[in-house]
Amino acid sequence: MKPINCIIADDEELAREIMQNHVSKLHNLNPVAICANGMEVYNALKANNVDLVFLDIQMPQLTGIELLRTLKNPPPVIMTTAYREFALEGYELNVIDYLLKPVSFERFLKAVDKFINAKTPEVISLPAPLQPSKPDQHAFIYVKADKKMVRLLLKDILYIEGLKDYVKIHTTDKPVITYQTLGYLEEKLSANYFIRVHRSYIISINHINAYTGSHIEIGKQSIPIGSSYAKEVLGKLEG
């Protein structure tokens, strides 16, 4: 079998060592770079032919998610994270698998086998940012509301409004109030289906009825486009 050129990326030294040890046990895996932050991964991808990336989500300079969104055709990725809630983002990133730290060799091997057995792993890639396609009918996120984790289908989210001390998620059914921040939700929501249009608003692309240079209409609601967001938002909506 042709060697699989891979990158190991994690900002924690111990986590890198664990992944290096796992990789060393598989003779068909060839680590071409060991990276401690997102920019190192970016540069390694430009300098090498890479077949697979073991990518930590939370890294300095560029997070794993931010890095993937900057790449036009990223290689297949197996993500690693210490936070279980990040695994819920699988719907928005075409990753092979998610590994929760500390990563056991058994779980690591299962993820690698999933990559090897993929029918066409070379075409696995992140969709173009802000492509106004419909989200999977079953795709969802969890948010904290009423002292519990509430499941929201992406297709039902109209827009998200940031208020003083909380965030209100407006859905086709009813509003849901959560104390998670707009920034947190922006990172969790797919850029293929949602746009940050104002410091206080994130909107669903698929629920836009109309827009002007200064406002977006969703249902009966007119949502302002912030001046600092206008150029990027309008350019992407029109492009």
CATH number at residue 195: 2.40.50.1020
**Amino acid letter for position 83:** Y
Nearest to 33 by CA among 62, 5, 74: 5
Same domain (yes/no): 36, 110: yes
State the total domains in the chain: 2
**C-alpha dihedral (196, 201, 202, 206), degrees to nearest 10:** -110
Same domain (yes/no): 118, 25: yes
pTM: 0.51
In percent, how much of the chain has pLDDT > 70?
86
Confidence at residue 43, expressed as pLDDT on a 0 to 100 scale: 95
Same domain (yes/no): 19, 51: yes
Model confidence at 50: pLDDT above 70:
yes
Q: Provide the domain limits for residue 154.
A: 140-238
Same domain (yes/no): 93, 187: no
Same domain (yes/no): 20, 101: yes
Residue at 52 is within a domain? yes
Residue at 131 is within a domain? no
Q: How far, in Å, CA of 115 to CA of 99, rounded?
A: 13
Same domain (yes/no): 46, 153: no
pLDDT tens per residue, range 78-132: 988 876 655 545 445 668 888 888 899 999 999 999 898 874 434 333 333 334 4
Same domain (yes/no): 152, 107: no
